[in-house]
Structure 1
Amino acid sequence: MTTVASAGVRFHSGSQAIPAAAVHTTPLGYDRDDIPVGTPLPVPASAALVDRLSGCGEIEVAFEGKLGDTLLALSTVRALLDWLRLRSIPVAVRPVGPYAALMARSGLVTRTPATALSGRRAVIGDRAGVEARASESVVGLVCDPGAPPCWSSDGCAHPDLPSRNYLALERRLGIRLPGTAPFAPLFPTVPSELVEEVHAMGWLNGLTIAAIAATSWPERKDYTAQRYIELAELIAERWQSQARLLLIGGGTDSSGIRITTEIPRRHVQILRLDGVPADHLASLFPRCQLVVGNDTGLTHLAAMARGRDGAGPPVVGLYARHSHSKWRTGLPHHHAVATDLSDRMHQGDLCPVRDAIAPNTDIHMNAFPPAALAQVCLDLLNGVSA
């Protein structure tokens, strides 16, 4: 479902299927629905890659870069493990680096098998992670978010990065893998003392909205705390309820966790959480009723985080310049509110940075008026736009 949120801004539902004819795509080369799982593909595999991976007894998952790029690349790890299981190759999977604890929750990490095939190691991760371990591995798989195109198969486009990454490796391995969309792994909640402390303070009762204020590009992607507060005020007023707003910030200068309260507004109480590690936030987000954020790693994490019952809140990402379909998880509850420029990047499979595309106007996060965004959020809370 695509609806107009305000002038030049549209809402795009996460459950919306995108026809291949509507966007610029690269044909996958086969219709997945017509090929049984485990069957060779009608496109040639990378023989050298298959040969090297077949002799590995350990997979090291090494991401050193941005959280968002890491999360959207984990479907590549899923594809590799699906392939190894189809071939009955026993391996141990070991996450390393700053996101090791978080990745251990994804279900992708396995215990060391009783008898490993060999001591040879493959490394999969971003360029920094793979290059740092090149001397210790026989094969490296670099996950580059700029590499895989928007694939099309069975009449549908697969624009989100988890789909792009999974299908790209499937083609290279030359065999129909068992995965189906959405390809992004999930992070089930685990006990968190910090989350329980926040709950004991009364902050997770009633209408709780999490707003992602952290960003790696504040000049372009900072919606600002003031706009989030105005948004929460409008939602609470129309919802006829008090709201609790959790402003999720990034790291502080002291590199520690900082939790502070702000002066309450008429309808909203405000709690700032800065420097909270991602693994704690993955247990916090499912306790909220709504998450709103810019195109950043913590917003993607909110979509991938699920409660013990597998449920979680709707997540709304704000996209001013980059493609709203590529930089999403592909999960049905991960929605987008996007500008016309973002929609053009989506349609043409373009990137304003990579392709040096200058917008006609200097588009920033003020393209999303809180009043229009509040209506989108209210529709989601009421189950209208999902």
Structure 2
Amino acid sequence: MTTAASAGVRFHSGSEVTPSASVHTTPLGYDRDDIPVGAPLPVPASAALVDRLSGCGEIEVAFEGKLGDTLLALSTVRALLEWLRLCSIPVTVRAVGPYAALMARSGLVTRPPTTAPRGRRAVVGDRAGVEARASESVAGLVCDPAAPPCWSSAGLAHPDLPSRNYLALERRLGIRLPGTAPFVPLLPAAPSGLVEELHAMGWLNGLTIAAITATSWPERKNYTAQRYIELAELIAERWQSQARLLLIGGVADSSGIRITTDDPRRYVQVLRLDGVSADHLVNLFPRCQLVVGNDTGLTHLAAMARGRDGGGPPVVGLYARHSHSKWRTGLPHHHAVATDLSDRMHQGDLCPVRDAIAPNTDIHMNAFPPVALAEICVELLNRVAP
């Protein structure tokens, strides 16, 4: 469901369906529902790619760039491994780079081999990861977020990046793969000393809201801690309940983890978590009741993180300039609040950076009033409340 949140800002549910007639798309060339799994597609495969991959005994997953781009590209890895299984090609899969531990949670990575892999090596990752290993591999699959279009089939659009990536590789391999939307893998939580420590201190009791202040583009995507505090106060006041707000700052660096508290407020207690690694945060997010963040990797991580029971909180992303549909996981609990400019990027399948669209100096994160955002968050919390 899409609803107006305030002037120029709209809420987009993670479960909404986008008709192909309402956005600019590229026809997929076939209706997946009409083709059995494993059957050839009515579009030609890339013969060179298929030949190279068929002779591989090892797949190396190598992402060196941004966390968000990496997470949304894991559907490419999923598509490749599903194709190899359909073709009965045995391979060893290993992950390297800063996100290796996260990727291991996705179930896409096998244990290290006890013997040397048979066959040649293929590398899938971002451009930096693939190019760094080009001399050691026989095939390279570069996951470029600017490359795959918004596909359409059977009257529906597939705008999120995991869908774009999965379907793009399916077309190149020429076989109907078994995956269905959402194509992004989930990241299950694991026991965590940090999480248990926070729980023992009472920070994960009752209404716990995580707000992501970390961003690689602060001049454009920083909603600010003060706005998040105001948002949490409005939500807690509506619930007539004390809330605990976890402000998630930059991920791990040389200065280590920094945990500080603000002075208590009437409805909200604030805990600032800076320098916490994504490997810790993936265990923390499922213990919250709500996550709100800008369009950044940690917000995508929160959507993909799931508790031991498979559950997790609603996640709300704030989209001021980029397409709210493309830069999401495609998971039904991953929602968006978007400006008119973000809606136009969605409708035209555009990117303000790639397409050199002059920035609108009036479009900043202050486009999302905490009062309007609180109404949306309270409604989402009411839907999942026991």
TM bucket normalised to smaller: over 0.9
5+ residue gaps, structure 1, are none
**Which is further off, 103-112 or 327-336?**
103-112
Q: Which residue of 1 aligns with 2:103?
A: 103
Distance 1:48 1:5 in 2: 49
Alignment of 1:1-386 (within 5 A): 1-111=1-111, 118-251=118-251, 254-383=254-383
Aligned residue for 1:346, secondary structure, equals helix
Q: Partners in 2 of 1:253 and 1:102 — Cα distance?
A: 17
Note if contact 2:242-2:267 (Cα within 8 Å) is conserved in structure 1. yes
| CA shift in 2, pair 1:253/1:127, >3 Å | closer
Runs of 4+ aligned residues of structure 1 deviating over 3 Å after TM superposition are 111-117, 251-255
Q: CA 1:225 to 1:366, structure 2 compared with 1: closer, same or farther past 3 Å?
A: same
State the one-letter code of the partner of 2:287.
R
Is the Cα contact below 8 Å between 1:46 and 1:173 reproduced in 2?
yes
Q: CA deviation at 1:253?
A: 6.6
Alpha-carbon distance change, 115 to 17 in structure 1, aligned in 2, over 3 angstroms: farther
TM-score by length of 2: 0.97
**Counterpart amino acid of residue 268 in structure 1:** V
Shift of 1:189: 0.7
% identical aligned pairs: 89
Q: Matches of 2:228 and 2:201 in 1, distance apart? A: 22
Secondary structure class of the residue paired with 1:260? strand
In 2, distance between residues paired with 1:91 and 1:194? 36
Letter in 2 for 1:195: V
How far apart are 1:383 and its partner, in Å? 1.2
Other structure's SS at 1:57 match: strand
Question: Please, which moves more after superposition, 192-201 or 43-52?
Answer: 192-201
Cα pair 2:92 2:117 within 8 Å, conserved: no
CA contact (8 A) 1:18 1:157 kept: yes
**Cα offsets for 1:103-128 (capped at 9, x unmatched):** 10011112367888733100000000
Find the aligned partners of 1:112 and 1:68 in 2 and give their Cα distance. 26
Q: Name the SS of the counterpart of 1:60 in structure 2.
A: strand
> 1:255 offset after TM fit, Å?
3.2
Helix, strand or coil for the counterpart of 2:377? helix
- Paired with 1:45 and 1:184, the residues of 2 have a C-alpha distance of 23
Provide, for residues 234-254 of structure 1, a one-character-per-residue CA deviation record: whole Å limited to 9, x for no partner: 000001100000000004774
CA offset digits 1:217-240 (Å, max 9, x no partner): 000000000000000000000011
User: What is the TM-score normalised by the length of structure 1?
Assistant: 0.97
Higher mean displacement: 109-118 or 158-167 = 109-118
CA deviation profile, 1:294-342 (whole Å, cap 9, x unmatched) = 0000000000000001000000000000000000000000000000000
The question of whether the paired residues in 2 share the 8 Å contact of 1:252 and 1:275 is answered with yes
What CA deviation, in whole Å up to 9, does each residue of 1:193-213 have, x standing for no partner? 111111111100000000000
Check whether the contact 1:257–1:276 (CA below 8 A) recurs between aligned residues. yes
> Aligned pair count?
385
Change in CA separation of 1:18 and 1:116 when aligned onto 2, cut-off 3 Å: farther
One-letter amino acid of the structure 2 residue matched with residue 344 of structure 1: R
1:58 partner SS: strand
Contact 1:89-1:117 within 8 A present in 2 as well: no
